[in-house]
Amino acid sequence: MDLVISLLVLSTLPQLVQPVVPPLLFRTVVEITSGDSKVFSGESVRLRCSIPDNYNFTWRYLWFRGSKQLPQNGENIVLWNANIKESGKYYCQGFRNSIVGKIHTLKSLPVEITVDGGWAILQVPPHPGLVGESLIMTCHVRGNPPIREAILYKDGVEVLRQNGSGGHLHLTNLTLEDGGLYSCRASWDTFRHTVSVISTATQLQVLEVLTQPIMEIVDDKPINPSNMKLVCHVQYNARDPAPPMYFYFYKNNKHLAMAISQNYILVTRSPGTFTCMAMVPQMGVSRQSDPKSFGQVTGTQTMKPPPLPDSDPWTSASPDMTLFPSFEPSEVQSSTHPPTAPTMDSTQSSEPPLMTSQPALTTPSSTLQSANNQTVASETEDASGGSSEMSGDSPDAEME
């Protein structure tokens, strides 16, 4: 009898114990297929969950608003006749059944949806602006009346006024100073009256294409007493497809190597003043790090950056020797570190506090490319809502 009971217990164990499967290393992506990240109450938004699967497996989906799981489980969800309570950050995650149990993807990065109960919305692009680029904002009014005049405010001060533009507001040649809180006022004529409404504030983020590089000297003397590693850390923000970026390394104002695509080199361990430069030739952009000393260094070192190349340093048939000066073979060591894939960083600015009568702000998401760990394999010798007539009114109020 004891033997029979033992056999029954053992036979039921596989059904009681479910294998734990770690999540896959690829991430789902949420995208807006119709509507906008900021919509009026009563409008609709459609979201889709994409899974980067090359094997065409059958996937099921989980949807979240904040930390709350939603009842929808399809590839698409639609916010029909959206209300203010449906504002929030939306995520999705994919899973499928396998012989080892349920396999989950990583949860997607969030897409923030704001449902506005007012009369005007300032719509901005979903990505940050870049220095030197142009940007279009739209002062969107409920009901789409024929807008006669649109005014753009930054931090409460008027910066742009356009007539007959349909609410479109253009900013050109962006600078870092253009970042801030923006709102808009739209005016139109109706029944011999002029109606004017103003939006709540929206954060605009402006980024540099290249941040200033930071020079790091990695000295692993116990492991490698004869060499040390120079690493050039920089953040590279560019639209896809991003042109290639190259690095230069200097010791005491002298080039240590020709242009390389990896952000580090190995050099002979010796005292000196070291700097690095990141350059994107196709965009005509370059940034140089502050000098960093190693060991006993005497005298003051002043860096003079090389001229920008006229062409891609990897494909130039007759390279300019000012771009590729001679270097010290005894200093540079070939790297033995295996290449690693570049990483993608996402940057969001913090949201400013709002008036209690204002709905939540929407911060545009950023798709940033970080070059901090970019190491392409190559040898070193290769190259409110208020208004003048509708102050805080709901959309149901009568318009005179």
Shared domain for 142 and 220, answered yes or no, is no
For residue 10, being part of any structural domain is answered with no
For residue 28, being part of any structural domain is answered with yes
The predicted-structure confidence for 334-348, as pLDDT tens digits, reads as follows: 333 333 333 333 333
The whole model's pTM is what? 0.61
For residue 390, being part of any structural domain is answered with no
* pLDDT of residue 290 exceeding 70: yes
The predicted-structure confidence for 168-212, as pLDDT tens digits, reads as follows: 999 999 999 999 999 999 999 988 899 999 999 999 999 999 999
Shared domain for 81 and 171, answered yes or no, is no
Mean per-residue pLDDT, 316-330: 36
Shared domain for 225 and 284, answered yes or no, is yes
pLDDT at position 58 is: 87
For residue 395, being part of any structural domain is answered with no
Q: Which residue has the tokens 């394999």?
A: 377
Mean per-residue pLDDT, 220-232: 87
399 or 107, which is more confident: 107
Shared domain for 230 and 347, answered yes or no, is yes
pLDDT at position 29 is: 93
Shared domain for 233 and 305, answered yes or no, is yes
pLDDT at position 129 is: 93
For residue 392, being part of any structural domain is answered with no
Q: Return the CATH number at 185.
A: 2.60.40.10
Shared domain for 80 and 228, answered yes or no, is no
The predicted-structure confidence for 65-96, as pLDDT tens digits, reads as follows: 999 999 999 999 999 999 999 999 999 999 99
Examine the fold and report which residue of 170, 201, 232 is the final residue of a domain before the chain moves on.
201
Structural domain count of the chain: 3
* pLDDT of residue 283 exceeding 60: yes
The predicted-structure confidence for 112-139, as pLDDT tens digits, reads as follows: 999 999 999 999 988 899 999 999 999 9
Q: pLDDT band for position 299 (50/70/90)?
A: low
Shared domain for 26 and 173, answered yes or no, is no
pLDDT at position 300 is: 53
Examine the fold and report which residue of 150, 180, 201 is the final residue of a domain before the chain moves on.
201
The predicted-structure confidence for 350-372, as pLDDT tens digits, reads as follows: 333 333 333 333 333 333 333 33
Shared domain for 174 and 163, answered yes or no, is yes
Mean per-residue pLDDT, 381-396: 40
214 or 330, which is more confident: 214
Examine the fold and report which residue of 115, 141, 156 is the final residue of a domain before the chain moves on.
115
pLDDT at position 46 is: 96
Shared domain for 265 and 374, answered yes or no, is yes
Shared domain for 289 and 333, answered yes or no, is yes
Average pLDDT, the chain: 76
For residue 393, being part of any structural domain is answered with no
Shared domain for 133 and 167, answered yes or no, is yes
For residue 11, being part of any structural domain is answered with no
For residue 62, being part of any structural domain is answered with yes
**Those residues with Cβ within 8 angstroms of residue 172's Cβ, 6 or more apart along the chain or in another chain:** 134
Q: What is the residue range of 173's domain?
A: 117-201
Shared domain for 168 and 262, answered yes or no, is no
